[in-house]
Amino acid sequence: MRLAPEQYELHYEDETHLETNPHLGRVWHRVGQQPTLPAAGTNRRLTVFGSVAAFGRGRVEVLQARQDSAGFARYLAALDARHAATGRDVILVLDNGPAHRSNVTQAALAARADWLEVIPLARYSPQLNPKEHEWRLLKRDHRGHLAPSPRAFVDAAVAGLQRLGGADCTIRDEVPQWWLDGHRTEPTGRPPGRPTGAKDTKPRTRRSASLPAPT
């Protein structure tokens, strides 16, 4: 890659979770007294799929709600756009995460084999991935406070990713509206409670009240 710098890009990819509760750093405390940090509301979690390019060329970051194969597919779509813009082939370093091993992901990687080469990392070797260090910086420097709203939380995460630096940064905010509205999971549209007329495939067992044994 050093011999042909305009032909290839080396990307180290990883994903992390960002929680709305403030990130807890290392603190001193007395033995037996666990320190706590009060927080308001219910904790919510975002997932960021991202990669950093070698030689400071930039990064590709995608904020979303879940860590699954569909989320990794959104990251690959952002990587497609970067490949189309730069014209460079990409060497992608991946760990052994579940989203990278699924059949859907393997098919998506194989479909890009003409310009994308995958190098798998050994298991349990985060020290070999520079992206792990960036996640620590992001959480330490930009996640030490409570956000007033989910929208402000996402905006602060985007700003923190931008401050990580890079010559050419692609940061996509693909957080769904249901997450911004405060839902933990995507609403199904059905009214809450048990549907009218629903029947169990296995009959429920009747539980008798606990009565004292006869004497």
Q: Is residue 175 part of a domain?
A: yes
Cα dihedral 32/34/134/139 (nearest 10):
-170
Q: Is residue 49 part of a domain?
A: yes
Answer yes or no: are the C-beta atoms of 110 and 103 closer than 8 Å: no
Q: Is residue 81 part of a domain?
A: yes
Question: What is the rounded distance in angstroms from the CA atom of residue 24 to the CA atom of residue 44?
Answer: 15
Q: Is the pLDDT of residue 40 over 70?
A: no
Q: Is the pLDDT of residue 1 over 70?
A: no
* DSSP 3-state of 16: strand
Q: Is residue 6 part of a domain?
A: yes
Q: Residue 172's CB: how many other CB atoms inside 10 A? A: 18
Q: Is residue 94 part of a domain?
A: yes
Which carries the bigger pLDDT value, residue 69 or residue 43? Answer: 69
Question: What is the rounded distance in angstroms from the CA atom of residue 20 to the CA atom of residue 143?
Answer: 8
- Which residues span the domain enclosing 98? 1-20+43-122+166-184
Look-up: residue for tokens 């975002």?
A: 46
Question: What is the rounded distance in angstroms from the CA atom of residue 183 to the CA atom of residue 67?
Answer: 17
Question: What is the rounded distance in angstroms from the CA atom of residue 61 to the CA atom of residue 14?
Answer: 10
Highest mean pLDDT among 19-23, 41-45, 119-123, 187-191 belongs to 119-123
Which carries the bigger pLDDT value, residue 158 or residue 24? Answer: 158
pLDDT of residue 202: 74
Amino acid at residue number 133:
H
Q: Is the pLDDT of residue 142 over 80?
A: no
Q: Specify the CATH number for the domain of residue 173.
A: 3.30.420.10
| Global pTM value | 0.81
For residues 82-89, give the mean pLDDT: 93
Structure-token pair, residue 80 = 């497609």
Number of domains in the chain: 1
From residue 134, alpha-carbon distances to 51, 60, 79, 142, 154 in Å are 10, 13, 19, 12, 18
pLDDT of residue 147: 84
pLDDT of residue 211: 66
Q: Is the pLDDT of residue 3 over 60?
A: no
pLDDT of residue 176: 94
Q: Residue 71's CB: how many other CB atoms inside 10 A? A: 20
> Angle, to 10 degrees, between the axis of helix 130-142 and the axis of helix 150-163?
130
How sure is the predictor about 5, in pLDDT bands with cuts at 50, 70 and 90?
low
Lowest-confidence region among 25-39, 101-115, 128-142: 25-39
Q: Is residue 202 part of a domain?
A: no
Q: Is residue 93 part of a domain?
A: yes
Q: Is the pLDDT of residue 201 over 80?
A: no
Which carries the bigger pLDDT value, residue 171 or residue 187? Answer: 171
